[in-house]
Structure formats: structure tokens, C-alpha cells
Amino acid sequence: MTTAEYQPLPGVAADEERPSGGTVVMKFGGTSVGDTERLLRVVRRLVAAHEEGNRVVGVLSAMGRTTDELVDLAHQISERPKPRAMDMLISVGERISCALAEMAIEDLGHQAISLTGSQAGIVTDTTHTKAKIVDVRARRIHQALDEDRIVLVAGFQGVSTEQEVTTLGRGGSDMTAVVLAAALGADRCEIYTDVDGVYTADPRLVPGARKLNAISYDEMLELAASGAKVLQLRSVEFARNHGVKLHVRSSFGDAEGTWITREDDPLLEKAMISGVTHALDETVYRVEGIQPARLFAELAEANVNVDTILQAGGEVVFSAPDGDHAEVSAVLDRLGGRWSSRDDLGKVSIVGAGMKSHPGVAAKAFATLDELGIQPEVVTTSPIKISCHIPDADLERAVVALHEAFELERVNA
């Protein structure tokens, strides 16, 4: 089973505990607040939830491409921007979104307060650009909710135990929202994005892909680990371990999205296969002559998020994000040994809790790839997932063929 590096539930001091009172955490991604018109739509949604009697916490991302533009700006100034300075810079985008939303909410006759990550009590470790949340000191949020305010929290950021501004890495606003939902005892955490739920495959590749009404935490965790971009991997694991009910839905409509919940929830369709997903942003490494314990300790120290790991004899095979290639290369060169890497492989995965009780899934998957003339370079499995690294050029047709082979366009496939 896929796991992310896990952090325990941030503590809430005894004198901060409150009944949830209908608390809802609503997270809006960058496309949801991409311009002022969209931001105003988000504001109206927050206000509507408040008017329904909920205690509302909104977690906002930076508007549109703001973060990417800030990163580009940094690289125009410096070839190797200092991580601390990068965090100071890229944390600005979310603050802009929250400040503008506060103004708009007040104009609609409701009280609001916008908070930076540090003001909201999001405490992290000391790692810049990829920090992990270690505590939530939610007193100020509780106080604002008790005053009937809509609380707006800048996602993706916090303050370290050394009082430095930190950011949480790609998709970090999801983590902000889920951790706040757990710490506040929220009824649910709604993740608003530019798609209307979790699909059986990327609908841009597979027109017949079907939206799922509900999916288990474990299945969503495997989908996220295998390339589905709808939710950050660490946030899914945190939600599973602390029972935070997630609802992924569109910012641009009112339809129900996809609920991520317990495997025994009656909402689940009990399908054999829930989805086919793919990833193009991994590099596969083959290493000989380095002890695995030392190798992975050094990679962890360099904050490299390793995914696939295989060992056969003296060879170790692993994958890591393309963006970590410089760090991985530095570690491998420092440790010696022989190594090679390939960045021309993508990963296609099938995920479904039904695999545990339905034999023949692997046979059908490999037969489908074989009919296409595709021979996987690396194969990894879990009780509910089969992943194959194959040439990038074959990835799209593999996704389409596997989706068709398992008849995922049908309900209860």
C-alpha cells in the first residue's frame, strides 16, 4: 500500500477545543481564483455556506499562474535562488487572494478575517520549499469563528519552529485544508477545483471516462501516488488516518462531486477497478554498488520523495520526480557505485479495491498491453494497484486501452 511520509495530527490545546458546530473547510485552487471574476464567485460560495449556518474556513491558493510567475521572476534574478528567499517570495500569492476575498466578503455585508499561514497557527518543520506541518495552534481561528467571521487562510504556507516563513510544496494548499479540518473537527473538507470530481481516467485522454460518486481513501491514495493530480498525496493520507471526509467538486457549478470516504461507506460503488491513471513526471534510476539503507537515508536527507522501489540481487531500481533529478544525481555521485537514469518512461496504473477479491486482473492488464506491443520496463504492485513504467510515447494509448478493457465507462464495472 502506498504511504507518504506521515506527520501526526497537529495538536489542539485543551482550552482551544470547541464543538464543530457545523464547521466546513473549503479549499479553492489556483484556477478557482484565477482572476477577479472567479475570485468573486468563490466569495459568493463562501458567503452562501455561511448563510446556511456553517462556521466557514476558506483556504485559498494564489490566483492563476501567480506562483509560477514568481518562480520565473526569481530565476531571472538568480541562477540558484536561496530556498529561504524563495519561501518569502512565493508565499505572497496566497496572501493576495485572501486579502482580496476579505474585502469582497465585507462588501457583501459579512464579517471576515484573512490570515497568513503563520497567523492561522500553521507550524512546520524547518525545511524550506517542502516543509511539513507539525502543529496547528488554532486559537485565533476558533476566536474568529466564535465571532461569526468567515476565516480566510492562506494555503501552502506556515511558520517554522525557528520562526521562518515556509511553504509546503506543490499541492500544499490541500494539506493546509485537510490539517485544519482535522484540527478544527470540521464536518467535511471541500476541495474545489477545475474538474467536477475524480474520474475513472483523465477525461482529456479518455472521452468515456466516468465521474465517481465516491471512492475509498486507499484507492484515492493510490490514484494520487500514481499520477492523478486532483489531490495532493500527503493530504489524502492525512485525511484517511484522521477520518476527514473529503468532497472534491467543481468551483464552476453546484453539482455533487466525488466523496472520499471509508471503504465500508455505503456510498461506494464496490467496483473491481476504480480508475486508470498515468504520470509523465518521474525519472527511473538503476543503481548498483550502494547499500539500500545508505542510499535511501541520503535521499531522505535531501528531501527527495522516492516512489517506486525494487531490488533484485545487487541492483536497486527506484523512481523520483523529475524536479528532484539534481538532488538525486548529487546523492548518487557522492555515494559512488554505478547508476543510470531514464526520463523517457511514463507510468500507467490501474487501481481498485476489488483486486483483492477478483483474480485475473493482472492477467488482463498485461494481455492488454501485450496486444499493443508494449513491454513494461518496471512493474510494481500493491493489493489494490498495478503500475507499469512504459515508454512515454505509448502512455496515452495504454490508458485508453486499459480503460476500455476493464469497461470503466460502465457503472459498477
Among 194, 227, 262, the domain-final residue is: 194
Residue 229's nearest CA partner among 251, 204, 254, 253 is 204
Domain membership flag for residue 232: no
Residue 148's nearest CA partner among 280, 72, 13, 54 is 54
Q: What is the DSSP annotation of 151-174?
A: EEEETTEEEETTS-EEE--TTHHH
- 276 with 348: CB under 8 angstroms? yes
Give the structural domain span for 115.
Answer: 21-194
Say yes or no: 34 and 182 in one domain: yes
Strand partners, 25: 57, 189
Q: How confident is the model at residue 266, as a pLDDT? A: 63
Express each pLDDT in 114-156 by its tens digit.
999 999 999 999 999 999 999 999 999 999 999 999 999 999 9
Higher-pLDDT residue of 408, 5: 408
Domain membership flag for residue 370: yes
Express each pLDDT in 220-229 by its tens digit.
999 988 888 8
What mean pLDDT comes out for the span 21-46? 94
- Residue 287: left (phi > 0), alpha (psi -120 to 50), or beta? beta
**Alpha-carbon span 280 to 342, nearest angstrom:** 12
**Alpha-carbon span 362 to 100, nearest angstrom:** 51
Strand partners, 347: 279, 389
What pTM was estimated for this model as a whole? 0.85
Higher-pLDDT residue of 381, 19: 381
Domain membership flag for residue 258: no
- 85 with 55: CB under 8 angstroms? no
Say yes or no: 31 and 154 in one domain: yes
Domain membership flag for residue 78: yes
What mean pLDDT comes out for the span 40-54? 97
**Alpha-carbon span 111 to 306, nearest angstrom:** 44
Q: How confident is the model at residue 267, as a pLDDT? A: 61
Express each pLDDT in 356-390 by its tens digit.
777 889 999 999 999 999 999 999 999 999 999 99
Domain membership flag for residue 259: no
Q: How confident is the model at residue 408, as a pLDDT? A: 92
Among 147, 163, 194, the domain-final residue is: 194
Express each pLDDT in 254-281 by its tens digit.
899 999 988 766 666 667 899 999 999 8
In three-state secondary structure terms, 108 is: coil
Say yes or no: 161 and 293 in one domain: no
**Alpha-carbon span 30 to 69, nearest angstrom:** 13
What does DSSP assign to residue 411? T
Q: How confident is the model at residue 136, as a pLDDT? A: 93
Domain membership flag for residue 244: no
